[in-house]
Amino acid sequence: MRQVILDTETTGLEWDLGHRVIEIGCIELLGRRVTEKRFHRFINPERSIDHGALEVHGISAESLLGKPKFSEIADELLEFITGSELVIHNADFDIGFLNNELSLTGRNVGRIEDVCSVQDTLQLARRLHPGQRNSLDALCKRYGVDNSHRTLHGAMLDAEILADVYLAMTGGQTELSFVGKSKQGQAETKTNPMTVGVKDGIQIEVIYPSSQEIELHRQWLDILGDDALWQDGR
């Protein structure tokens, strides 16, 4: 599955009041692994930047004077994201701005949702952690993701942080391992109940999930919905 972690920075909070996108950062995930493919552009908004927004991302209008307009990078962006699942924190904000930018190009290029599916990690976090703070900084603290270098927001920086947070929220980057494969006396840790049996002359160890793992699995199935193949009774 191809996913794209996406973030934007803007001149202000509301696209319907004339605010524009000034930075886009995208990172590709393939099979839940970060690849080297990136899409990163600064964009000339052809307008001023609100003081409040400047304090958040530190990008001045003067620094964007020589950058391309959105209409000049729209095709590159669409080529990068088409067919993927976009993973965005507070997706309504970014998608609203990007769809507005696409409409302002004056071309019949449709909407982001026409070429991508979208997963909102803010909504995911609210389902996993109801009643708690679920900002990107709060999630970094909860999942042990280092964001100490995030003194200002930035589209590419925030996309990199969100990639780590998303993988941690949804189970991490898994790899195949074998219990007891070493004959060199390596230490083994088994924290869950275990039974041992023999089948066809081969000793088989069965390690059962803990109650916490079962609960996390149940929460993940709730997120997947009724179409999940692993729902109880199937």
Q: Is 151's pLDDT higher than 90? A: no
| pLDDT class of 207 with cuts at 50, 70, 90 | confident
* For residue 199, pLDDT beyond 80: no
Regarding predicted confidence, which is higher, 29 or 201? 29
Whole-angstrom Cα distance, residue 187 to residue 181? 11
Q: 223 pLDDT exceeds 60?
A: yes
Greater confidence (212 vs 147) lies with 147
Asked if residue 175 has pLDDT above 50, the reply is: no
pLDDT over 90, % of the chain: 68
pLDDT at 195 (0 to 100) = 53
Measure CA 90 to chain center. Answer: 10
Rounded to whole angstroms, the Cα distance separating 234 from 230 reads 6
Lowest-pLDDT choice from 71-80, 102-111, 205-214: 205-214
For residue 205, the model assigns a pLDDT of: 63
The predicted-structure confidence for 35-87, as pLDDT tens digits, reads as follows 999 999 999 999 999 999 999 999 999 999 999 999 999 999 999 999 999 99
CA separation for the pair 221, 217 (Å, rounded): 6
Catalytic site residues?
153
The mean pLDDT of 150-164, rounded to a whole number, is 93
Q: Please count the residues of the chain.
A: 234
**Average pLDDT for 175-196:** 41
Gap between the Cα atoms of 3 and 26, Å rounded:
10
pLDDT at 158: 96
**Residues in Cβ contact with 171 at an 8 Å cutoff, skipping those fewer than 6 apart:** 220
Cβ atoms of 10 and 21 within 8 Å: the answer is yes
The pLDDT value recorded for residue 192 is 53
Which structure tokens are listed for 210?
Answer: 């803990």
Structure confidence at residue 31 as a pLDDT band (50, 70, 90): very high
Mean pLDDT, rounded, of the chain = 85
Please choose, from the candidates 65, 46, 63, 49, the residue with its C-alpha nearest in 3D space to the C-alpha of residue 9: 49
3-state percent breakdown (helix, strand, coil) of the chain, nearest 5: 40, 20, 40
Domains delineated in the chain: 2-169 (3.30.420.10), 181-234 (no CATH)
Cα separation, 43 vs 7, whole angstroms: 14
Collapse the DSSP code of 134 into the 3-class scheme (helix H, G, I; strand E, B; otherwise coil) and give the result.
coil
